[in-house]
Structure 1
Amino acid sequence: MTLEVPSPSVEYEDRYFKGPYGTIGLWAGAGIVAKTLSYGLQRKPIFHKPYTHLIWAVVGGSIGYLVDSLQQRKLQEVERKRQLLIRRRIQRLEQSE
């Protein structure tokens, strides 16, 4: 008896942002929005010091990069463990025959 299990490929699947650059762009945008909101709450002109928006975009983008790389590593680990469990299940079925 053979056990055929479809093996899905480990790819980045996101409904709205495809690939790592979408995630990095999203977090970079969040950094810009955070700085703009901060200036708004302080009642300063929104573009008081424009370079700070760039700094916050870089900070947000780096957070996005870290989140994306963590997600990729976890997906690969889950796929590796899934393949290990499938292999053990096949061995168990072969031994029981």
Structure 2
Amino acid sequence: MTLITTVTGFAAFGVAVRAYALALERRPVFDNPITHVLTATFFGGVGAYIYHAEERQVELIEKRKQVLLANRKRRLENGADKAAASSS
């Protein structure tokens, strides 16, 4: 997912949660619209943080994968060298 869709999705979820909370209290849903803006901003910020955290995690996993593949390749080469040396 892209950053825009993640932030927009979290912001929409925040507004929906705020509207649902007001509806449960039987208060007018759009009585004070600034609270909806603040809620959307907060949840949008949470969405941006989660998006960037996920990107960092994917990058770290990719680096770790490259290290593990290099270790596997080196271990296979060492095993092939030892097998060639012992058969000669």
**Amino acid in the other structure paired with 2:24:** L
Counterparts of 1:70 and 1:30, CA distance in 2: 19
Instruction: Please identify which structure carries the higher helix content.
Output: 2
Superposition pairs for residues 22-33 of structure 1, below 5 Å?
22-33=5-16
Among candidates 69, 75, 84, match of residue 52 of structure 2: 69
The answer on 1:79 being equivalent to 2:62 is yes
Among candidates 38, 44, 51, match of residue 34 of structure 2: 51
Q: Which runs of 5+ in 1 are unaligned?
A: 1-17
**Amino acid in the other structure paired with 1:67:** I
Counterparts of 1:41 and 1:86, CA distance in 2: 54
After TM superposition, what 4+ stretches of structure 1 lie above 2 angstroms from structure 2?
none
**Amino acid in the other structure paired with 2:47:** G
TM-score by length of 1: 0.78
What residue is the counterpart of 1:3 in the other structure? none
What residue is the counterpart of 1:15 in the other structure? none
Counterparts of 2:26 and 2:2, CA distance in 1: 37
- Following TM superposition, by how much is the alpha carbon of 1:42 offset from its aligned partner in structure 2, in angstroms? 1.2
What residue is the counterpart of 2:76 in the other structure? 93
TM-align CA RMSD: 0.8
- Number of residue equivalences: 80
Percent identity for Structure 1 against Structure 2 = 26
TM-score by length of 2: 0.86
* Deviations, residues 31-75 of structure 1 (Å, cap 9, x unaligned): 100110111011111101011100000011011011111111111
Counterparts of 1:77 and 1:21, CA distance in 2: 23
